[in-house]
Structure 1
Amino acid sequence: EAGVIIIDVENGSPAEDAGLRPQDIVVQVNRVKVSSIKQYTKEISMAAENRNVTLLIQRGKSRVIVSLHIE
């Protein structure tokens, strides 16, 4: 399935605090499928107003739901 691959996770970032890892694939942002970095950025920007984001992550053969707080 299409998604956006996480290349790096900054130490001390909300992404690291939420447990995101390099090579995770973001499949959905707040239940909206994302298949490009442009679409991912748009959804994150819209979600930033609420400061809470729920991501559906493909990690290997598993899917994980991750919630994070955007600062």
Structure 2
Amino acid sequence: MSINDNGKISSNQYETVFNQLYSFFVNLYDTRDEYEKDVWDCRKIAGAKITENLSAYYLNFTDIPLEFRELIKRY
């Protein structure tokens, strides 16, 4: 935790906490199958082989044009 010159908690930490809470609640209430989402969490896919010591466990399809996205996800 960092304190700025005014003796208050840094606003960056508020943003970090907000983003973590937002991500938690989005994942909590999103009950869709992982394959239906545009960002997959490989830790939630049965049989997926991921390296445990890396933090790159998301597959993000949002940069793929919408016309091709479902085709790429099925592949």
TM-score normalised over the length of structure 2 = 0.25
Structure of higher CA gyration radius: 2
Which structure dedicates a bigger proportion of its chain to strand? Answer: 1
Structure with more helix by fraction: 2
